[in-house]
Structure 1
C-alpha cells in the first residue's frame, strides 16, 4: 500500500525534504519542495528555514540548494576545489606583486568562510586561517559579496543583529545597505579599515558568475597600507577568476589565463589614477570603508 500522508515526525519530514535534492547542484523553490514532498507549503517553509539556519541547506534568490553540512565538513564537496584551483595562481601573483596577504573566501549565511590564505612574513600578523570564519558585515570580503545580492537577501542572511567588533564596525542594517551601495558605485571594490581587527585593513572584490557572486578575493595590510594603489589588482584577479570559472560568460576579447601582473590598470582602461580618485571620493568619509 502506498502511503500518501506526510510522515508525522520532524526527522522524517526533514529527511524527506533533503531527499528532494537529487544532486549537489540541484536548486528547488519552495513550491518545488512542497510538491515533491507533499508537505503543506507552510510546513515545508518552516522546515526549510530551520535547515537553512543549521546550514543543511542554503537559500538565495534562485532557490534552495544543499548546504555546507549536507555536502561535507568544511564545504570541500561544494565545488570549492575548482574555485581554489582557479584562484590559486592569481592569489600567489597578488601576494608576490604587493607583499600583502591574499585571501579567498565564500559567503556562508552571515559569515565569510576562508578557503585560502597566501602571505609572507606578514601573514602571521593577520588573525585569519583557512577554514576560519568572520562576520560578513565587518569584512571587505563579506561586503564585496553582499553588495551583489538583493537587499531582501542581505536582510535574510545578516538578520537583525550586527555585532560591533571594534568602534569602526557597522552596527546597523541601514548603514550596511548604504555601504553596499557605495561598493557598487566603486565598481565592486569593498574596503574596511579596522572594522574586524584593530590595525588591519583590507580591500576586496567579488568573483561573480551568471547567477550572482560566488566568492571574494582580498588583499590585507596595515592601516597605513595605500589600498587604493592595489585595488585594481584585486579587481582584476576577481574578474579573471570569474572568467576561468565561467568561460562562456567571459568577453571573447579577454584571455582568462592572464594574471594580475600581465594586466595593469592602464591595460584595463578603467582603473587610472583619476578613476581611482573618483571611486574613493564616493565614500564621503574618506576612510576607505
Structure 2
C-alpha cells in the first residue's frame, strides 16, 4: 500500500478545498446554478450543455433535472430542457405573451397586405381561444372577435389548429364531453372533433373552419408550434364564400416563421436531431 508524503497530502487537501469552493455545497445552490442557465422562455439546453456550463457531475445534473421536471420548474422535450410552467408563471412569462406578439407582428402585417383579409393571433386557454391581436381589412367590422375576447376552441380554426397537436386526452380534458353548438355547422360531437383534428394533422397543421363559430364567416389557421407543443395560432378570416385554400400556404409559412423566430435554438437543434415535422 503506498503512503502519501506530507507534500502529496497537502496537494490533495488543496485540490479538495478548491473543488468544494467551485461546486455549490447545497442542493438549493446547485438547482439555482442550473436554473440560472435558462435566461428566457426561448432557452432550450441539452443535458451535456448543462453539465458543461455548470461543471456539476453528469449524474448529479441529471438527478436535479429530473426533480425540477417533476416539480414543473423545468420541462423536458425533444429539444432538451426548457423553463416549465412554474418558472414562467413566477416570471410573468405565461400570461402576457409579449414574446409571441412581438415575433408574430411583422408576419401578421405581411399577411394583411397579401390577403386583405382579417388576421388573428390567439392562444389556447382552458378550452377556449383568446385573441391577442386582430388586424383588420374592409371585412373587419363584420367579424365579431375582439382583442382580449375569446371563443370556444372546438369551433374555431385557431382552436382546432392548436388542439390538433395535443394528446387526445388533453383535448378531452380541455373541451369537455359536451361541445356547445354555436351554429348549425359547429362540430358538437367529441369523436367527430377528433376526426377533424386528425385531418388537420394530415394537412400538415392547416385548420379550416366555415361558419362553425360565426355564420357567414370562414377562416384558415395554423398553429405556432414550440418544443412543448402549440404556443399560439394565426388565422386569415373572410366571408364564408371566399376561397380560402389559396391563402393556406401563406398562413402555414407565417406560422412556421414565427416559431423559428421564437425558438431559434430549438429550430437549429431540431434540424440536427431530425425531429422537425
- Shorter chain as denominator, the TM-score bin is 0.5 to 0.7
The structural deviation recorded for 1:78 is 2.9
Q: Does the 8 A contact of 1:107 with 1:215 survive in 2? A: yes
Residues in 1 aligned to 2:83 and 2:181: alpha-carbon distance in whole angstroms = 31
| Structure 2 residue ranges without an equivalent (≥5) | 1-37, 42-65, 73-81, 272-277
**Out of 84, 87, 90, which is 2:104 matched to?**
87
Task: Give the corresponding residue for 1:32.
Answer: 71
Q: CA-atom RMSD, angstroms?
A: 3.3
The alignment's TM-score, normalised by the length of structure 2, stands at 0.65
| 1:202 alignment partner in structure 2 | 219
Query: 1:206, 1:213 → 2: CA distance?
Result: 6
Asked if the contact 1:144/1:204 (under 8 Å) is kept, the reply is yes
- Corresponding residue for residue 186 of structure 1: 203
Aligned positions, number? 202
Residue 127 (structure 1) aligns with: 144
TM-score by length of 1: 0.63
Distance 1:115 1:28, change over 3 A: farther
Larger radius of gyration: 2
- 2:85, 2:94 within 8 Å by CA — same for their partners in 1? no
Cα distance 1:96–1:63, how it changes in 2: closer, same or farther (>3 A)? closer
CA deviation vs aligned residue, 1:168-221 (integer Å, no higher than 9, x gap): 000011000000000000000000000000000000000001111110010000
Task: Please name the residue that 2:47 is paired with.
Answer: none
Give distance in 2, aligned partners of 1:100 and 1:239: 20
Where in structure 1 do 4 or more consecutive aligned residues deviate above 2 Å?
Answer: 27-33, 62-68, 75-79, 249-252
The offset of 1:79, in angstroms, is 5.2
Change (3 A) 1:244 1:170: same
Please give the residue correspondences for 1:1-289 in structure 2 after superposition, counting only pairs within 5 Å.
Answer: 32=71, 65=85, 78=95, 80-250=97-267
Q: 1:29 to 1:191 in 2, by over 3 A?
A: farther
In structure 1, the gaps of 5 or more residues are 1-22, 34-61, 255-289
SS in 2 for 1:130: coil
C-alpha distance in structure 1 between counterparts of 2:247 and 2:150, whole Å:
24
